[in-house]
Amino acid sequence: MTIRWESGVASELIDRLDYREAKDAILDSRGRTVRCTPRRRVTMFMGPDGNFVFRKWHLGRGAQREWFWLADLARRGFKVPSRVCIAECDGASMVACSAVPGRPMGAFLSQVRHDPFAMRQAEDYCIEVVAPMVRRLHGQGLVFRDLYWDHLFVTELSGESEPWFIDVERVFRPRWRHRRWIIKDLAGLASSLPGGFSKVFLLRCFRSYRGGLDSGWKADARAILAKAARIRAHKPRYG
């Protein structure tokens, strides 16, 4: 397979990456490694305009899934990194995308929990912006599967601008057991919430997500909290 470039990618960036064929992209070791597991490696590379490009190498066809969902989510109106290129060769694949502005929401939430005013502002943002955004994702039949605060990027915890989704490879449309997958998404957010935020705040987020509290909210809330506890107790294989 040859390199496939997203339309509109600057020629200066294409020249800087200098991929002539798929194996060049697959074997490229330049840049700083951000995360590495036996089946996936993410590196950060400085583009010619001073902005970063993230390259994600997969053992298998994971790059194809991420390439698809980056375009699909953008088409649906969600904010995601811009695609740069994709390559596949000898059982491995690589997808490159532009960096997004800001920092992970998890880092922001950890920072503001010691400032009552900033914490309240952050809570309002989660309730008024993030929860409806997740409801919109689920309302279109999609689940994220890795929905943690560190997979949402923002420049500030205020205003009406929605966060950016990153690491979208595992997004999918379940054909059955929709409630199970939705519970897992919401539990991912609950489990990754830094200490200092109350259950009352989580309930307010849940109420915003549902658009109110109907007769089934208590059972779902219990399921979310129980799943969140199991996620927190689970030791990640690769940290």
Local confidence pLDDT in tens for the 239 residues of the chain: 678 999 999 999 999 999 999 999 999 989 999 888 888 899 998 888 888 999 999 888 889 999 999 999 999 999 999 999 999 988 899 999 999 999 999 999 999 988 999 999 999 999 999 999 999 999 999 999 989 999 999 999 988 999 999 999 999 999 888 999 999 999 999 999 998 898 899 989 999 999 877 778 888 999 999 999 999 887 666 55
Largest Cα separation within the chain, whole Å, is 59
Nearest Cα to 103, choosing from 166, 48, 22, 12? 166
Condensed to tens digits (0 to 9), the pLDDT of residues 64-110 reads: 999 999 999 999 999 999 999 999 988 899 999 999 999 999 999 99
Contact yes or no for 103/154 (Cβ under 8 A): yes
Residue with tokens 């420049």: 155
Contact yes or no for 117/33 (Cβ under 8 A): no
What does the block give as tokens for 193?
A: 């919430």
Whole-structure pTM value: 0.92
CB atoms under 10 Å from CB of 33, counted, come to 10
CATH of domain 103-233: 1.10.510.10
Residue 135 burial by Cβ neighbours in a 10 Å radius (0-12, 13-18, 19+): middle
Residue 108 burial by Cβ neighbours in a 10 Å radius (0-12, 13-18, 19+): buried
The full set of domain ranges for the chain reads 4-98, 103-233
Rounded Cα distance between 175 and 213, Å, is 26
Which pLDDT score, from 0 to 100, does residue 223 have? Answer: 93
Do 103-233 and 4-98 fall under one CATH topology? no
What does the block give as tokens for 67?
A: 């390439």
CATH of domain 4-98: 3.30.200.20
Which pLDDT score, from 0 to 100, does residue 62 have? Answer: 87
